[in-house]
Structure formats: C-alpha cells, structure tokens
A = this chain, B = another copy of it.
Amino acid sequence: MATIKQVAERAQVSVATVSRVINETGLVSPDLEQRVRAAMEDLNYYPSALGRGLRRSETMTIGVLIPELDQPFFSALVSSVESALFRQDYRTLVCSAEEDPAREAAYIQILLQQRVDGVIYVPTGQQAGNVSKLRKSSVPVVLVDRDVSTYQVDKVMCDNESGAYEGMSHLIKQGHRRIGVIGGPDYSFAILRRMAGVRRALADAAMPLNSQFLIMGTLQQFELGYQTAMHLLTQPERPTAIFALTDMIAIGVLHTASRLGLHLPGDLSVMGFDDIPLATYSIPELTTVAQPIYEMGALATKLLLARLHDHDRPYEQHILDARLVVRNSVAGAATHDPLLK
C-alpha cells in the first residue's frame, strides 16, 4: 500500500506538502496541489490511520461494548450509535460480551490497546468489577441502560420504574385485578426498577401484592415467558392479564396463550416492555412500554463526543421517559373474566 513518501516522490514535492493537501491545512500553490492529487490518485493512496493516530494520539474510533449483539434491543442500540458516530466521522468497534464477564474483561483490554477515544458501555452481568478497569484508564465512558452507581461517568438510562408504573396502572385501569408479572434475570438493574414500579402501582391502587403472581426467573427470555406463563395460566384462578417486563418475555407469553387456545386480547391481556421492532410484528401487536432506544443511542453518542472535546465538563445523568404505547394486546378485564360473570 502506498505511503505518503511515495506520493511525495511522484509529485516531486515534500511529504509536508502532501500532508497539507490531504488535511487542507496550510497553504499550497494550485499547481503543486494539482500534482499531489494526481499522484494520490495514481497510486491509489489512502492515508494510514495508524500513522495518523500515532502522531495525533487519537484514533477516531469508539468502542461499543454490549452484553449481546444478538438481542434486538442491543442490536438496535448499536445501530443507532453506529449511525450517529458515522455522521461525526468516527468509527465503531463492536464488542459483544455474549453475557460473559470474562469475555467482557478481555474486550476491555482490547479496547484499551486499540486506544479508542471513548467507550459506550452497557455492562454485562451482576458484578461491576469490569467497570473499574475501564475507569482506571481515564478513557471517556458513557454508561447506557444499566446503572453502576459507584462511578462518576455520563449516564443514559430510561425511567424503568415509572415506565413500569404506567404500564401496570394501565392494566389496573382496564379493570384487571389478577395480574401476573414476569421478569428476569433477577440481578438486572433495569428489571429490579421495573419491579419496583409494579409494586408502587399496586400500592397506589390499594391492591394486595399477591406474590404468587410476581415471578422472577433466570431462563432465557422467551423460554422464561413461555414456561412461567404456562404455570400462571393453568392455575384455577388464573390472571386476566400478564405484564411481561420485557417484550421477549411477552412473546413467550403469547405463545403460551396460543398453545392454550386463549384468544388475545379477549381471553388474556399482555403488556410488554422495551418496544423492540418485534413488538409491532407480533400478532396481536404488543401493547408495551417503549424505551426510546434510538434516542438513547444518539444521546449517548452526543455525550461521549462532547466529553472528548471537553474532558472536564461536569458529568451528566439522563433519565429518559419510557412511555406507554397502546396497541392490540390489552383489553378491558370485565368482559372476559369468568370469575366476574
């Protein structure tokens, strides 16, 4: 691959001049510029990001470290971040930890070696051990979705608690009294907050907290929804609605309902959380609490780039609203609760 020196030689100028035309810095006469451009074309030269990065000590590369690329929520997040970064002329180094803390640690080390200018980080698993490794190195980090409160960093999350509150309240307002709630994994910060929102809604409605209906599990999400819904819906006093704390769990619940021959939303109402693309593709379309995924990605990117330009700005913590999106999987309870007839 051609180097700047070869270009200089061919154009009969110094490397400095070539560099000047590449970066449009400093003055260079029209005819020389002409010659340089021609030479670059001829040799099909592309300036090396390695040399440049070394000299400038910046790589224009951002690491995006997430628990699992294959999950729709994260792949949407990455997509939005990548898009925003591209617009600002940054590259995206994707790192999927596959829900494995050891692999996450390995990736952190790699990101440090790569000298990425910053990291957008959704921590994996329960422990925050890996976060500290990142922080120790003074790379700018913005934390997304999952909170690790002990560290001073920029944060972008959504209001899981009040989102869940709204979702649950909606179900209650529709007349549901026996509402199953399914969440997991139980160490997830977001899920815990959502559960808290559920409890508050119950309390505000002066409804008792039936612990048989509040289920936490660690299965893979779809499976979790399917299994626990099966358990819930085959009880004598089955719930008339189920609040799945994740859209993927909701999809599992939908399958259970289908298996049991329950018609939605007539026989059972289902509410999800997240609003991944799948939520609009399911039948019936899922009523759910929407996280503003794209907005979160864009905001995280913005915060990160802002910090790159001003290392000492105060840390910001953004908590975006999660809002109820009413579609077709929830209906009023009175009409179809056999126990009320």
Contact = CB atoms under 8 A, between A and B. Distances in A.
A103 interface: yes
Contacts of A44: 136-137
B278 A281 contact: yes
Nearest to A280: B222
A69 interface: yes
Q: Give the interface SS of chain A, mostly helix, strand, loop or mixed.
A: helix
A82 interface: yes
Interface in A203-223: 222
Interface in A7-54: 44, 46-51, 53-54
Contact of A113 (B47, B138, B277, B278): B47
A238 to B, nearest CB: 20
A79 B54 contact: no
B54 A115 contact: no
Nearest to A59: B50
Interface stretch (A146-154, A181-189, A250-258, A309-317): A250-258
A6 interface: no
B53 A281 contact: no
Nearest to A89: B110
Contacts of A47: 113
A284 to B, nearest CB: 8
A320 interface: no
A112 interface: yes
Contacts of A128: none
A114 to B, nearest CB: 5
Given A53-B50, A70-B79, A283 B281 contact: no
Contact of A222 (B75, B76, B91, B281): B281
A83 interface: yes
A78 interface: yes
Contacts of A93: 91-94
Interface of A: 1, 44, 46-51, 53-54, 59, 69-70, 72, 75-76, 78-79, 82-83, 86, 91-96, 98, 103, 107, 109-110, 112-115, 136-138, 222, 251, 254-255, 258, 277-278, 281-284
A225 to B, nearest CB: 11
Contacts of A91: 93, 110, 114
Contacts of A254: 283
A70 B75 contact: yes
A69 to B, nearest CB: 4
Contact of A283 (B98, B109, B115, B258): B258
A195 to B, nearest CB: 24
Given A44-B137, A115-B1, A115-B50, A69 B59 contact: no
Nearest to A45: B112
Contacts of A115: 1, 48-50
Contacts of A95: 92
Nearest to A281: B251
B96 A94 contact: no
27 contacts: A1-B115, A1-B137, A1-B138, A44-B136, A44-B137, A46-B137, A48-B54, A48-B115, A49-B113, A50-B54, A54-B54, A69-B78, A72-B72, A78-B94, A82-B96, A83-B96, A83-B98, A86-B107, A91-B114, A92-B95, A93-B94, A94-B94, A222-B281, A254-B283, A278-B278, A282-B282, A282-B283
